[in-house]
Amino acid sequence: MMTESREHKMRAFFNSRFVKGEKRRSHRLAFVLFWSILMYLFFSHFVISVGIIRETSMVPTVPEDGYYLVNRYIYYVTRPKRGDIVVLRQNAHTPEILKRVVGLEGETLLIKGGHVYIDGRRLDEPYALGGTYPDFGPHAIKKDTYFILGDNRKVSKDSRHFGTVPFQNIEGKIKPGVIFPLY
Q: Which of 16, 99, 154, 173 is catalytic?
A: 99
Task: Tell me the three state secondary structure of residue 21.
Answer: coil
What is the residue type of 125?
Answer: E
- Looking at every residue in the chain, the average pLDDT score rounds to 82
State the amino acid at position 179 in one-letter form: I
Q: What phi and psi, each to the nearest 5 degrees, are found at residue 10? A: -65, -40
Tell me, yes or no, whether 73 and 38 share the same domain.
Answer: no
Q: What are phi and psi of 172, to 5 degrees?
A: 175, -175
Say if residue 61 is in the same domain as residue 98: yes
108 plus 126 within the same structural domain: yes
81 and 26 co-located in one domain: no
Do residues 102 and 31 share a domain?
A: no
Let me know if 49 is a catalytic residue: no
From edge to edge, which strands make up the β-sheet containing 67-71?
48-52, 67-71, 170-174, 85-88, 97-103, 145-149, 165-166
Q: Is 157 among the residues known to form the active site?
A: no
* Residues 73 and 122 both lie in one domain: yes
pLDDT in tens, 130-180: 888 888 889 999 999 999 999 988 888 888 888 899 999 998 998 876 655
Beta-bridged to residue 52, according to DSSP, are 67
Same domain, yes or no: 117 and 83: yes
Q: Do residues 37 and 80 share a domain?
A: no
Question: Do 105 and 127 belong to one domain?
Answer: yes
Residue 182 lies in a domain: no
pTM: 0.75
Q: Supply the pLDDT for residue 48.
A: 82
Considering the domain boundaries, does residue 58 fall inside one?
Answer: yes
Residue 116 lies in a domain: yes
What domain range is 30 assigned to?
4-45
- Within this chain, do residues 69 and 146 fall inside the same structural domain, yes or no? yes
Provide the domain count of the chain. Answer: 2
Residues 73 and 131 in one domain: yes
The answer on 167 and 85 residing in a single domain is yes
8 A C-beta contact, residue 118 and residue 108: yes
Who wins on pLDDT, 183 or 129? Answer: 129
**Residue 128 maps to a domain:** yes
Q: Model confidence over 2-20: pLDDT tens digits?
A: 555 555 555 555 555 555 5
Would residue 52 count as lying in a domain?
yes
Model confidence at 182, pLDDT cuts 50, 70, 90, reads low
Point out the catalytic residue in the list 23, 57, 142, 143. Answer: 57
CATH of the domain at 101: 2.10.109.10
